[in-house]
Structure 1
Amino acid sequence: MCQTLLDLITNRKKYQEWLANKIHQPKENPQGHPTSELQAYEEVCQTNEDSESNRKAWEQKKIEEQRQGREQELKDKKQQRLLEAQRKQQAARAWQSWIAEAPLKPKPVPLNKGLLSLKGTISDIYINPNPWREPFEELKCE
């Protein structure tokens, strides 16, 4: 345990020394020449300007996309309303046509019984073969 703690402390000291040397070491560009502080500052400013212009271009692009999306949505809604109106007009025309033609169409014959089905009811009615007589007629005659 003591050995690992001691190793940890030495590693930390070595890291601190390396970091201090790295900070005081002059910066070099890819060609191997040290850059001056002024050049480093100009590079940072240039990247900031580039990032700012990129951000503004991105914002403009997003605003344009949103505007186009809204226009497309309005166009779709207008097309939907137009289709709905056409559908309603077609339904109204079909209804009027049906109403006009309905009385002219033949009526169905119930149970396909022909002329028998044209009477008031389709059931067979019992007809009494004996005519009706008043009950008191017999008494009066006698």
Structure 2
Amino acid sequence: MKRSETIVIVQAQKKNSSTSTRSDPEILGKEEKKKLQENSFQRWLESKRQEQIQKRQEQEESQRLAAEEEMVKKETAKLSYALWKHKKDQERKANEMRQRQMKEEQEQQKRVKQQQSKERVSQWMRSSKVKPRPFPSNLGLQSLQGNQPKGFFNPHPWVDPV
């Protein structure tokens, strides 16, 4: 039934209740029938209202749950991002520390190597003074005279020009 029909029925009932002084059984049956119809219509309206209220509440609840679920997803994403970022920062710091340690070790090795080479050079300088010097072997027996530089020696004897 439409709303206009229900208004007409309600108005008709009000008229009938004021003019229902007659005790005709047919009229009473119609009045009872109208009351039953009105009663069932009111119950139907009430059930529809309840359904609408329940539907609205369910929609609100589903929207609230969806919003809450979305918020949980956002929080989870933020948390996982924060954990990922923390992990990456830790890895970066560890990598930098490892690089720094490797560089320090290389510098230490370089210093040790330089120190050892300086020691070897100084030891060589000290020991080279004591060691005999090598002689040139291309001069034959004359090389046994030592490493003294020789003066000029003319291989042709001097001839008088006269």
> Of the candidates 69, 80, 91, which is equivalent to residue 117 of structure 2?
91
Q: Give the root-mean-square deviation of aligned CA atoms.
A: 2.9
For residues 44 and 79 of structure 1, the distance between their equivalents in structure 2, rounded to whole angstroms, comes to 52
* 1:86–1:109 CA distance, 2 compared to 1 (3 A): same
Identity over the aligned pairs, expressed in percent? Answer: 22
* 1:100–1:125 CA distance, 2 compared to 1 (3 A): farther
For residues 98 and 113 of structure 2, the distance between their equivalents in structure 1, rounded to whole angstroms, comes to 22
For residues 111 and 127 of structure 2, the distance between their equivalents in structure 1, rounded to whole angstroms, comes to 24
* TM superposition shift of 1:41: 1.4
* 1:75–1:85 CA distance, 2 compared to 1 (3 A): same
Instruction: Name stretches of at least 5 consecutive residues in structure 2 with no aligned partner.
Output: 1-60
SS at match of 2:123: helix
Give the alignment's TM-score, normalised by structure 1: 0.57
> What do the CA deviations read for 1:34-87 (whole angstroms, capped 9, x no partner)?
x82222112111111100100111111111112112211221121112101100
The structure having more radius of gyration, on CA atoms, is: 2
Instruction: Name stretches of at least 5 consecutive residues in structure 1 with no aligned partner.
Output: 1-34, 136-142
Structure 2 residue 41 is matched with structure 1 residue 53: no
Question: In the TM superposition, what are the counterparts of 1:1-142 in structure 2 within 5 Å?
Answer: 36-117=62-143, 118=145, 120-121=149-150, 125-126=154-155, 128=157
For residues 38 and 74 of structure 1, the distance between their equivalents in structure 2, rounded to whole angstroms, comes to 53
Structure number with greater CO (CA < 8 Å, separation at least 6) is 2
> What residue in structure 2 maps to residue 20 of structure 1?
none
Q: Which structure shows the higher helix fraction?
A: 2
* TM superposition shift of 1:92: 0.6
Q: How many residues align?
A: 98
